[in-house]
Amino acid sequence: MLQIRDLHKSYGKAAALAGVDLDVAKGETVVIMGPSGCGKSTLIRCVNRLTEPDSGSIILGGQDVLALTGPELQQFRRKVGFVFQHFNLIARLTVLDNVMFHLVLAGMDRDQARERALAALDKVGLKAAAERKPGQLSGGQQQRVGIARALAAHPEIMLWDEPTASLDPILVGEVLEVMEELVKHSGTTMVIVTHEVSFALRAAHRIVFMDRGKVVEEGEPERVFAQPRSEIAALYKKLLMN
Ligand SMILES: Nc1ncnc2c1ncn2[C@@H]1O[C@H](COP(=O)(O)OP(=O)(O)OP(=O)(O)O)[C@@H](O)[C@H]1O
Ligand SMILES: [Mg+2]
């Protein structure tokens, strides 16, 4: 499904990605963990070209992602759902319009977009809030709108960049619950950057640890937390025991 080879990206002299290889199978859920600044966001942002890598290759669903330009790239991005740490909702639009917006922009007729958006809001438990404005929702609810917005496009793959990191700890649980439900029942391929170790243990098929722009360890959640081989995995294991 997703095949990343020898991906490099530098900012000035500093390497954010120093040769990353990663494979994700169709329907698989991969969690990426690692210390701040190790390149997690850079890596997943390269997948839909929010960030341009310097070299390497990315193949997604048979498409050479780095070769896409113009309308091809636009069309490709619609197949990739992205959930951000900061929800990036449009304050003056209703929840429903926030979720419909990019579907209509992509040329879908309004009725169909509305139907899709309502179904996506239903999946995150927010159908009843469709006519509210983002400012009238809690942080957890706003992030669930962010998730519905990604879901509404029926993406082939979903990329999540620390979706619970800017939430009040009390609100983290409701978002993780929605995420876990999606992971278990949607069958969509997921790449999730998160520090939530117990979520990762329950929901991930595989955990990938990064450090200084490289993948330093990967494996099944039970294995990597029980017998970490890298320094970084050992640190996360400690988190789990606290
Ligand atoms: N737009 C940018 N300009 C300059 N440097 C950048 C830019 N984006 C990222 N970097 C640098 O690249 C490195 C990797 O950043 P990245 O955001 O991918 O890390 P991360 O693992 O997502 O960290 P965090 O857990 O804090 O989100 C860091 O050293 C960062 O400072
Ligand atoms: Mg990041």
Q: What are 179's two structure tokens? A: 């995420």
Q: What are 205's two structure tokens? A: 């098929």
**One domain for residues 119 and 188:** no
Residue pointed to by tokens 């009390």: 170
Question: Quick check: helix, strand or coil at residue 129?
Answer: helix
* pLDDT range class, residue 238, cuts 50, 70, 90: confident
**One domain for residues 134 and 111:** yes
Pocket lined around ligand 1, Cβ cut-off 6 Å: 11, 14, 16, 34, 36-42
> Given the CA of residue 45, which atom of ligand 1 is nearest to it?
18
Cα 77–chain centre separation: 13
Give the Å distance between the CA of 37 and the centre of ligand 1: 5
Whole-number Cα distances in Å, 130 to 39, 89, 90, 103, 169: 35, 13, 14, 16, 25
Give the Å distance between the CA of 45 and the centre of ligand 1: 11
* Model confidence, pTM: 0.94
What's the mean pLDDT when you consider all of the chain? 94
Task: Give domain status of residue 130, yes or no.
Answer: yes
**One domain for residues 135 and 50:** no
**One domain for residues 193 and 104:** no
4-34 per-position pLDDT tens digit:
999 999 999 999 999 999 999 999 999 999 9
- Domain coverage including residue 11: 2-79+156-241
| Rounded Cα–Cα distance for residues 180 and 233 (Å) | 22
* CB contact set of 1 (below 8 Å; sequence gap of 6+): 24, 25, 26, 27, 28, 60, 61, 156, 157, 189
Question: Quick check: helix, strand or coil at residue 158?
Answer: strand
- In this structure, the residue with its CA closest to atom 17 of ligand 1 is 41
User: Structural domain tally of the chain?
Assistant: 2
Reported as type and span, the H/E element at residue 10 is strand 2-11
Task: Give domain status of residue 84, yes or no.
Answer: no
**One domain for residues 68 and 169:** yes
**One domain for residues 53 and 98:** no
Residue where one domain finishes, among candidates 110, 131, 154: 154
Q: What are 82's two structure tokens? A: 């992205």
**One domain for residues 116 and 224:** no
35-78 per-position pLDDT tens digit:
999 999 999 999 999 999 999 999 999 999 999 999 999 999 99
**One domain for residues 164 and 235:** yes
